[in-house]
Amino acid sequence: MPRGRTLVEESVGWDTVNWSRALTFWEHHSRLGPSGLKALEVGAGGDHGNLSLWLAAKGFSVVCSGIEEPKEALRRSHADQGLGRAVRYERLDVLDMPSGARFDVVAFKSVLGAFGMNGGDALALQRMAVLNMWRVLRDGGELWFAEGARGSRVHEALRGRFGWGRSGWRYVSLGELGDLMSPFDDVDCTTLGVLGLLGRSEPQRRALGALDRTLVERVVPESSRYIVAGVARKRPGPCPGAGPSVAVHDRQSA
């Protein structure tokens, strides 16, 4: 783990002040027991520990999965924390998941937006990915998600010119969350972040994220923030047809 980075920062990787608050929200709103649970991280990649590092530190037995083989730096991040034995690695396409309910938790960060980058019906692919994650959860299991939200018009414009929006990344709106999470029974969610993504370096993003948390989010509406995070629950029985009950919590609870 790079010197000076906390375990949470190494798990989140970027814009850590705002995105790490999703982890706190998951813990506050989970209804699962404290130990002996199995977790799957979907979409792990890059050179940092990803959510698998944080999950393993919390006592989960973790499958760290991505569409490509994990980089050596990712494996080393787990090993350096003495957590390598709690994590195993699989190549896994979330659009082609193996059948069978195996996990108590499925977790992801910044995965759904990528389905807008290769053409086709991005919303349909996002729905399929969520349904596949629902399928591998045990009854009573939970989906822990943190995804880039559409945010304000300013966020849309900046991302379209300088960020992943240039490549077609499809950001999720708060209003369509019930549709995307339709396989689940109920969802607790929140939105986070206003200025943090404007930082050009991680120290700048940390400073702006602290300002978001303490001041800016008090006056900016939920729909104008650029992260949506939540916990979606799978109840026993068939996939519900009516869609979930979605409770949006004020950012003070995150």
Residue ranges making up the domain that contains 154 = 7-239
- Is 193 domain-assigned? yes
Tell how far CA 128 is from the center of its chain.
16
Q: Tell me, what's the pLDDT at 245?
A: 87
- Is 246 domain-assigned? no
Q: Tell me, what's the pLDDT at 241?
A: 67
- Is 131 domain-assigned? yes
Q: Tell me, what's the pLDDT at 41?
A: 98
Q: How many domains, in total, are found in the chain?
A: 1
- Is 247 domain-assigned? no
3-state class percentages of the chain: helix first, strand second, coil last, to nearest 5: 40, 20, 35
- Is 105 domain-assigned? yes
Looking up residue 145, the CATH number of its domain turns out to be: 3.40.50.150
- Is 115 domain-assigned? yes
Q: Tell me, what's the pLDDT at 250?
A: 81
User: CA–CA separation, 82 vs 105, rounded Å?
Assistant: 22
- Is 2 domain-assigned? no
**C-beta separation of 194 from 205 below 8 A:** no
Helices (H), ranges, 30-176:
50-57, 72-80, 122-135, 153-162
pLDDT tens figures, 75-127:
999 999 999 999 999 999 999 998 888 999 999 999 999 999 988 899 999 99
Residues of the chain with pLDDT under 70: 1-4, 241-242, 251-254
Q: Tell me, what's the pLDDT at 184?
A: 96
- Is 253 domain-assigned? no
Helices (H), ranges, the chain:
7-12, 16-29, 50-57, 72-80, 122-135, 153-162, 177-180, 202-214
